[in-house]
Amino acid sequence: METKIFDMKNMKQYDEPANLLKALSHPVRLCIVRGLMRKKKCNVSFMQECLDMPQSTVSQHLQKLRSAGIVATERNGLEVNYILANERIAHIVTILLGEEDCEHE
Amino acid sequence: METKIFDMKNMKQYDEPANLLKALSHPVRLCIVRGLMRKKKCNVSFMQECLDMPQSTVSQHLQKLRSAGIVATERNGLEVNYILANERIAHIVTILLGEEDCEHE
DNA sequence: TCCTAATATCGTAATATTACGATATTAGGA
DNA sequence: TCCTAATATCGTAATATTACGATATTAGGA
C-alpha cells in the first residue's frame, strides 16, 4: 500500500486542486486575491483603475477566478462587487506571500 | 495609502509567487510533490513506474519543479533522487489537499 | 576504452493561455 | 422606451504549455 505513492489510478484527485492553483497562478489574479483579502469587497471599475489595464482584461481575470470558485459576486445596481469565496485560498496566499520578506534577496 | 490595494506599481512582487504556483498547478506535478511529502526521497525510475508515463515526460515535470525551487536533487551513482526543497510548498499542498474530504461533493 | 543503465534535453505537434479591442448585456434613471 | 454606466463576452493574434519519441549526457563496471 505504501509503495504506490505516486499512483496513476488516483491521479484524478489532483485535477481539481491543480485547477484551483492554475487559476491563482497569475500575477494579476494573485494581486486581485490579495487585494480582496484586505479590502473584503470591491467593484470592477475600482480594480481596473488600480491595475491600470483594460476593463475586458480585468473582467476576464475575474471570470477565471470566479469559475474556479475563488471569488464570488454581489450585484449592487450597476456595480458588481467581488468578494473572496474561499477561505482556503486566503490561507494559501498568506503562506505564499507571507514569508516573502524573510528568505529573499 | 489604503486605497491603492491593487496597485500596478507593486505588481512585480507577484511574479515570483505566481511562478511558484504555476509550477505546482498540474495534476502530475502535484502528485509528485504529494508523493515526496510522504516518501521524502525518490528516484526517477520509481516515479515513472508509479505514474506510468514516459521517462521524458516525468523528467520534464521534474525539471519544471526543480527550476521553480520546489524540489532538489541528490545524485547516487546512476540514480538521481528528488526531495522537497521548500517547506512552504509542503504547507500549501497540505492546505490545498487537506480539506478536500470535508467540504466536497 | 566500451557497454549499459539512469536521467536530461531536443524537436515539434497539439492544445491552452493571455491580452485587448469590439460588441453585447444588464440595470437604473429621464 | 431611450440613454448611459458598469460589466461580461466574443474574436483573435501572440505566446506558453504539454506530451512524447528521439537523442544526448553521465556514471559505474568489465
Contacts of B20 in chain A (CB under 8 A): 25, 96
Q: What pLDDT does B104 receive?
A: 39
Identity of residue A91: H
Q: A 51-80 residues with CB below 8 A of B?
A: 51-53
Q: Which of A6, A25, A43, A71 would best serve as a mutation to test chain B binding (most B beta carbons within 10 A)?
A: A6
Contacts of A15 in chain B (CB under 8 A): 27
Protein-covered nucleotides on strand D (Cβ within 7 A): 5-11, 17-23, 26-28
Contacts of B96 in chain A (CB under 8 A): 17, 20-21, 88, 92
Residue B83 corresponds to which cell in the numbers above?
526531495
Strand order in the sheet with B71-76: B42-43, B79-84, B71-76
Q: Which residue, chain included where needed, has cell 519543479?
A: B65
* Average pLDDT, consecutive stretches of 10 residues, N- to C-terminus, chain A (105 residues): 69 95 98 96 96 97 98 96 96 86 42
φ/ψ bin of A8: left (φ > 0), alpha (ψ from -120 to 50), beta (otherwise): alpha
Strand order in the sheet with A42-43: A42-43, A79-84, A71-76
B42-43 and B79-84 as β-strands: parallel, antiparallel, unpaired? antiparallel
pLDDT of residue B78 exceeding 60, the answer is yes
What are phi and psi for residue B71, nearest 5 degrees?
A: -125, 165
Q: What pLDDT does B70 receive?
A: 98
Q: What pLDDT does B43 receive?
A: 97
Higher pLDDT, B89 or A11: B89
DSSP string of A6-17, one letter each residue: T-STTGGGGHHH
Q: Which residue, chain included where needed, has cell 475600482?
A: A46
What pLDDT, in 10s, does the model give residues B15-71? 999 999 999 999 999 999 999 999 999 999 999 999 999 999 999 999 999 999 999
Chain A residue whose CA is closest to B99: A88
Query: Hey, which bits of chain A come out as E strands?
Result: 42-43, 71-76, 79-84
Q: Which of A3, A13, A21 would best serve as a mutation to test chain B binding (most B beta carbons within 10 A)?
A: A21
Q: Are the CB atoms for A42 and A82 separated by under 8 Å? A: yes
